[in-house]
Amino acid sequence: MEKHRTTTEHHDDDAGLAIRVRGLVNRFGAQVVHDDLDLDVRTGEIQGIVGGSGTGKSVLMRTILGLNEPAAGSVRVLGHNPFGSSADRHAIERNTGVLFQDGALFSSLTVGENVEVPLKEHHPDLDPRIRKELALLKVKLAGLPADAVAKLPSQLSGGMRKRAGLARALALDPPILFLDEPTAGLDPIGASQFDELILTLKHALGLTVFLITHDLDTLYAICDRVAVLADRKVLINAPLSEVERYDQPWVQEYFHGPRARAAQTIHLRNLTDHTVG
């Protein structure tokens, strides 16, 4: 596998791409999770990632972030190699924000202190007062009330913990946001509000979003393109109108079952309402 590339190395075919994966192989012992997987994530788009259980959606995300070293293949995030030099890895850390499932907050720290963690790590000389003001700004940006900064994660609802995790992911103003099942466990209203928040942030901040989800409503509401993981590869990565037509059993069952039809109906209704409005 390629390992030691410099931060200045770029590829012509990286143009317009925030993330580029080629020939990726991930294996754990005898189990091969990904085999010759390719994926392009376009700058400024919300990229949905779907697949059945065991297809390695989270493994793919962790590999792109440099948290899991693959057996073969290459990864570029904004032109940087997560398995290259320390400067490469630092650039990726600085330019990506991650929301893990249920927020993954430090339980002993307040929400504000959680948001300050990446600021302390990457800007250690920043005035503490400015750091606290920035943390408050991110908390508000994530849709939480100002008084949430002083609360512990245990004092928050599940939806509020996700928003607190989002605030921490936004702390460094990263151009790329990684979200792992952000609406899992939320009620339909809470999930819809979170979708709207992500869409608003994408437009306001010019974000690229890598979104792992099984939520069909989320896919139809906010994703520009959807990549389907199956058979250890990305079968298709395209707008939903193309993905729906892809001739593969899991894809057909997933996108043409009763839940999918309900999500499609809601999506079309919302499009009609916006057009009329």
Q: Domains in the chain and their CATH numbers?
A: 44-267 (3.40.50.300)
Mean per-residue pLDDT of the chain? 90
Lowest mean pLDDT among 23-27, 108-112, 192-196, 260-264: 260-264
Instruction: For 189-221, give one letter per residue: b (16+ CB within 10 A) or e.
Output: ebbbbbbebbbebbeeeebbbbbbbbbbbbbbb
User: Is residue 2's pLDDT more than 50?
Assistant: no
Task: Look up the pTM and report it.
Answer: 0.88
> Measured between alpha carbons, how far is 222 from 217 in angstroms, rounded to an integer?
9
Q: How many angstroms from the chain centroid is the CA of residue 14?
A: 19
User: Is residue 19's pLDDT more than 90?
Assistant: yes
Q: Give residue 100's pLDDT band: very low, low, confident or very high (50, 70, 90).
A: confident
> Measured between alpha carbons, how far is 270 from 277 in angstroms, rounded to an integer?
10
Burial class (CB in 10 A: 0-12, 13-18, 19+), 233: middle
CA atoms within 13 A on the CB side of 197: 24
